[in-house]
Amino acid sequence: MKRDVYALYLAAGDPRVPWYAKAVAVSVAAYALSPIDLIPDFVPVLGYVDDMVIVPVGILLAVRLVPPDLMAEFRAAAARPDRSPPIGRVGAAVIVALWIAGILGAAIWLRGYLAL
């Protein structure tokens, strides 16, 4: 799974990959490489749903969208020992932004709810 995530990261930067496959590949790679989860692991049951369901399904979808010959090339490049995946700073920033937006949305909703 780790190799496929890195292969998708490589696919996202290749001009031969269709734009829709790049969009899915970037999303999956950013989320999988991010040090921050959308649903933290300490949340009972739901905390591990992203690790066991969301990431593998996203990888499967992205791999199917990338042409098979290109995906084989990216997998071979990802398997080389001199290559290492980047730290998911962009993915972490997106997850932090989603959490902030969720907290702000909940605060606005709660303020409106309590004001009535």
* pLDDT at position 84 over 80: no
- pTM of the entire predicted model: 0.61
Domain residue spans of the chain: 2-115
pLDDT given at position 87: 54
Q: What SS3 state is found at 19?
A: helix
**DSSP letter for each residue of 40-105:** -TTSTTGGGHIIIIIHHHHHHHHHHHS-HHHHHHHHHHHHSTT--PPP-HHHHHHHHHHHHHHHHH
- Model confidence over 11-61: pLDDT tens digits? 888 899 999 988 888 887 777 767 667 777 777 777 777 778 878 888 899
